Amino acid sequence: DQQVKQNSPSLSVQEGRISILNCDYTNSMFDYFLWYKKYPAEGPTFLISISSIKDKNEDGRFTVFLNKSAKHLSLHIVPSQPGDSAVYFCAASSNSNSGYALNFGKGTSLLVTP
Amino acid sequence: SAVISQKPSRDICQRGTSLTIQCQVDSQVTMMFWYRQQPGQSLTLIATANQGSEATYESGFVIDKFPISRPNLTFSTLTVSNMSPEDSSIYLCSVGGLGRIYNEQFFGPGTRLTVL
The tens digit of pLDDT for each residue in B53-64 reads 889 999 999 999
Q: Using an 8 Å CB-CB cutoff, list chain A residues near B110.
A: 41-43
- Rounded to a whole number of angstroms, the distance from the CA of A82 to the nearest CA of chain B is 22
Q: What residues in chain B have per-residue pLDDT under 70?
A: 98-102
Per-window interface: A 48-87 vs B, CB < 8 A: 49
User: pLDDT, tens digit, for every residue of A16-25?
Assistant: 999 999 999 9
Q: Which of B1, B31, B112 sits opposite A99 (nearest CB)?
A: B31
Q: Cβ separation of B92 and A44 shorter than 8 Å?
A: yes
Q: What is the pLDDT of residue B33?
A: 94
User: pLDDT, tens digit, for every residue of A23-68?
Assistant: 999 999 998 999 999 998 889 999 999 999 999 999 999 999 999 9
Cβ contacts of residue A50 below 8 Å, gap of 6+? A32, A33, A34, A56, A57, A64, A66, A73
Residues of B with CB under 8 A from a CB of A: 1, 4, 31, 33, 40-45, 48, 56, 58, 92, 94, 96-97, 101-110, 112
Q: Cβ separation of B102 and A100 shorter than 8 Å?
A: yes
Asked if A41 is an interface residue toward chain B (Cβ–Cβ < 8 A), one would say: yes
Please name the amino acid found at residue A23: C
DSSP codes of every residue in chain A: --SEE---SEEEEETTS-EEEEEEE--TT--EEEEEEE-TTS--EEEEEEETT-SEEEETTEEEEEETTTTEEEEEESS--GGG-EEEEEEEE-TTSTTT--EE---EEEEEE-
Q: Do B73 and B57 meet the contact criterion of CB atoms below 8 Å apart?
A: no
User: pLDDT, tens digit, for every residue of A72-101?
Assistant: 999 999 999 999 999 999 999 887 655 567
Angle at B18 between CA B12 and CA B22, to 5 degrees: 80
Q: Mapping DSSP to helix (H, G, I), strand (E, B) and coil, where does residue B77 land?
A: strand
